[in-house]
Structure 1
Amino acid sequence: MIRPLGTSSQTLAHVADFLAQDLDPSQRNIEVTGVCSDSRNIQNGDLFLAFPGEKRHGMEFIDQAIAKGARAVISDFEGVQKSPRKLPSIKVENHQDLPVSLTDWFYGFPSKSMNLFGITGTNGKTTTTYLLSEIYKLAGRKSGIIGTVAIDIAGEQIPAKNTTPTGDEIISILARMRESAVTNVAIEVSSHALTQSRVSGLKFSAVGFTNLTQDHLDYHGNMENYFQAKRSLFTTKYSGNAYINIDNDFGRRLAGEVDIPYQKLSLKGHADWNLTILNETGMKKEIRIFGPKGLIIESKTSLIGEFNFENLLLAISIAIESGVDAETVSRSIPELSGAPGRLQLIVNEPYHAFVDYAHTPDAVSRVLAAVRGVNARRIIGVLGCGGDRDRTKRSAMGSALNSGSDLPIFTSDNPRSESPEKILEDMVAGVKLKEGAELIIDRRSAIRRAVEIAKPGDLIIVLGKGHEAGQEILGKIEPFDDRIELLEAIGIK
């Protein structure tokens, strides 16, 4: 867990007063020095937040929290009844916003000292947050990122464990960012985080929507539930400003239902913000952006793919509306590279080789369509599907790989507890495989096979894992980075 470097402390009396709750008079002078909801991350002196989870109650882990040095606990009625008598406890009834609100108060309200921007959607969250952060950096503003790839604190990269951390950890990260004088923070907001109230209590200067396509149906059950989870971010509870990409059905629906001020973004139709490609030479493109009040920006970019232009437009609109001047944005655009593992170019000669994180049917289709624009002789695509995740998307992903690649190679991703052979069966079920398609269970062997058959002018793209540095098999994560594997395979050839 990332914590501020400086020390903080509060007495339980102050904590109880903040929560407007009663406290045993004998416990009022006890000091706590941190706030944490994960018993594994407790440090000596911490205040442990023990609330009901989706499967287990936090109080089930109280012994571990005490062993690590928890000095007091806050819980609901059920939890307090189970709390050891020796541990000071405070009972609360409404705890949805508490991890954020209490931790924010504890550390002196770091969330109030910076601009927070929440980005949600199935695909594009990571790239958009990176583009937005890059613009701020190039504008001379210290920025941060909380997301899938890493926690970025003014350039310091710390590996991330979840797309969106728990509320208390988000605030702890913001407190650390404040120490580094960060003023703008881009936060990926996942549907899981919204459903589980991880960002409940945060106030965003603006929120942005990228798109919504099939994913996480193992968790949400259906697309309507998935949409409603995303939609919940676009309310006065979280923000008073929204930026919505309307080049997808759910974006158009969201724009029609949202009850906060919003601006529409599009590459295709009438909107508050538009982006047009003026000229294209190889991997270089000249673009023109139209914004409110007659704003026009012209620049050049090496970003590839329609979806990346959607991400770019979202980042630019938020940056300009938050005070970055158009001239600075125009100068910044050629320098923007996006996120690690997102259409990341590994080699350019004698063939192109890319790595991308695409792991939904729509993302696979759009990425393969994007690299088709590079005018390669043949596209060799390598893709697997994750185990213990939404099984309903596997055949659609397999179909997307088969139709979008000239030579598709089906392989493993993170099989987790599932049989890799069974996952491959699901991927090709109902798919009429192209001549030359291959099924290679071992991912390393699949990548090497792609390199082996590649000829000058071809394009290899390894999909699904992107920035990930490990492969999860039967509960163990073994070192595995598609980028490194691809480079080593090219060296072997």
Structure 2
Amino acid sequence: MIRTLAPFTATLEDTAQLIGASLHGDNVTFTGVTHVDSEVEAGDLFLAIPGARVHGATFVQAAVKRGAVAVLTDEAGLVHCSGIPALVVKDVRTAGALAASSLYKYPTRDLVSIGITGTNGKTTVSTLLYQIFEAVGRETGLIGTVETRIGAEVVKSSRTTPEATELQALAAVMRERHMRHLVMEVSSHALSLKRTKGSHFSIAAFTNLSQDHLDFHHDMDSYFAAKAQLFTSEYAEQGFINIDSPYGQRIVTEAAIPVTTVSRANKEATWHFTETHNVSRGIEFSIRGAGGILIESRTRLFGGYNLDNLLLAIAIAVECGIDPIELAAIIPTLSGAPGRLESVSLGQRYAALVDYAHSPDAVSNVLAAAREFTTGKIIAVLGCGGDRDSSKRPLMGSALVQGADIAIFTSDNPRSESPSEILSQMTASLTYNAPSQIIEDRSDAICAAVALASDGDTVLVLGKGHETGQEVAGVVTPFDDRIALAQAIEAKP
């Protein structure tokens, strides 16, 4: 975990009062907060969170050996805290997040912080905003699925939204390094698991909502409710909402903060497109925005859903004071996020792209985008991840068959599940004909797709995007769709 150079201190008594904890032991001073025992530094408060399988308090002694001076836990964890001061609460996640944000003096409030939520598009909108701010000379921090950036420094991301201890420390480092903006993805898991407690955003944005993560949220209402938390005064000053879905419209009516609407086609929205034209290598467009602003430009991004992403980023950028004329000149240089319709080009006479699409709606949208620029066949490779929402598997399989001319079903991080069982769930209710097929080995599936490609076709490899590993039976081996696709293209006679 990255730490600030400047020291921060807090006492257990003051923290207990802040979070409503009972103090067991001496009133010591701590200088950091972490929930990972291997990342403890001398002077830290160790956050012992009850887990699904193991209570974090079982690692207290390991944390003490590394220099932890106190523990924040619940009653169940207190039995592991003999000989070390402890703060005891009912909700360790919320209390830990508030303790971390307080220790670092609420760093998200000292930045122009922008939180992006939604099923699809979070990474692209965040990346576009980061590129815009950097283009006009505003130092910016980025936290998201693909990577974390502190200005030009790149830090590997372990999840879409970090745990609260890491998030607050990162924001504090960004403030220390004089970042002006923080742009970050805010996942529904993060909101449900209290990782964002203690954070506050100048702007919260909503892209869309479609079926995903129902293994965690159980139903769409719960999934929506998790996302909707961001649009309250606890978390944000104002919201920017895409209203091209019922869920976006619902947030507008229920949000407890002022909201600005964006839409691809609804002229009632504050920000909307007035014209779009597909041209060689992109789209030309005109946008109307707040106060009658007109922005005319072109983008290298393809597909209607990327117009949605771009529109949201443009609206937020203007709200943050970017001159529309300067913005129009920047837009053609924007490249989007790694692994999102990312091209693999080795001089072949057919398109080859990798995309992170891993929900039914995302698969449909990517295939529709490819149809816009494909003169031949669309050949698409797709799998579904193991130990994740199984209810979306037949929907993703159906989206693949409906949107592609040739559908190849394969593995995608089966984890602890049987790859063949996942593929059976994807395809059981489908009707498809050769050369569409099931090829369990992902590398073989990609090679098969490339072997079928002719001039003017498009090969799409979906699901993993930027990821660089394949997890099978708990073992992660190196696997990058972009590399596998390039190797298949090179090997084709």
Q: Distance in 1 between matches of 2:465 and 2:483?
A: 11
Is 1:224 paired with 2:221? yes
Matching residue of 1:124: 121
Q: Is the 8 A contact 1:98 1:201 kept in 2?
A: no
Give the equivalent residue in structure 2 for 1:260: 257
How do 1:46-85 and structure 2 match up within 5 A?
46-53=44-51, 56-80=54-78, 82-85=79-82
Alpha-carbon distance between aligned partners in 2 of 1:18 and 1:302, rounded to the nearest angstrom = 49
Structure 1 pair 141–119 and aligned structure 2 pair: CA distance change class (3 A): same
Distance 2:152 2:435 in 1: 44
**Counterpart contact for 1:302–1:334, Cα < 8 Å:** yes
Q: Paired residue for 2:108?
A: 111
Secondary structure of the residue aligned to 1:232 is: helix
Unaligned ranges ≥5, structure 2: none
* Shift in Å, 1:6: 4.6
Partner of 2:395: 396
Alpha-carbon distance, 1:279 to partner: 2.6
Specify which of 241, 247, 261 is matched with residue 244 of structure 1.
241
1:440 is displaced (CA, Å) by: 0.6
8 Å CA contact 1:118, 1:189 repeated in 2: yes
* TM-aligned CA distance change 1:379 to 1:23, over 3 Å: closer
Q: 1:14 to 1:258 in 2, by over 3 A?
A: closer
Aligned twin of 1:439: 438
Cα–Cα, structure 1 residues 208 and 55, in superposed 2: closer, same or farther, change >3 Å?
Answer: farther
Do the aligned residues in 2 keep the contact of 1:277 with 1:285 (CA within 8 Å)?
A: no
CA contact (8 A) 2:101 2:199 kept: no
* Equivalent residue for 2:169, pick from 172, 179, 182: 172
Look up the SS of the partner of 1:240 in the other structure: strand
Kept in 1: contact 2:97–2:194 (CA 8 A): no
Change (3 A) 1:276 1:472: farther
Letter in 2 for 1:436: P
TM-score (norm 1): 0.94
- 1:60-107 deviation line (CA, Å, top 9, x unaligned): 332332233312112334433x14331122334665543333223323
In the other structure, the counterpart of 1:484 is 483
**Separation (CA, whole Å) in 2 of partners of 1:237 and 1:123:** 24
Secondary structure of 2:444's counterpart equals helix
The structure-2 alpha-carbon separation of the partners of 1:106 and 1:431, relative to structure 1 and needing over 3 Å to count, comes to same
Offset of 1:432 from its aligned partner? 0.7
Letter of the 1:167 partner, please give it: A
> 1:12: Cα distance to partner?
4.7
In the alignment, which residue of structure 1 is the partner of 2:146? 149
Letter in structure 2 aligned against 1:425: S
Report the identity percentage. Answer: 45
Alignment of 1:87 with 2:84, yes or no, is yes
Give, in whole Å, the separation in 1 of the partners of 2:341 and 2:177. Answer: 30
Partner of 2:350: 351
CA contact (8 A) 2:467 2:480 kept: yes
Give the secondary structure class of the aligned counterpart of 2:373: coil
Whole-angstrom CA distance in 1 between matches of 2:234 and 2:16 = 25
- Partner Cα separation in structure 2 for residue 67 and residue 140 of structure 1: 44
| Match of residue 453 from structure 1 | 452
Report whether the alignment pairs 1:158 with 2:155: yes
Greater Cα offset, 314-323 or 250-259 = 250-259
Report deviation, 1:179.
3.0
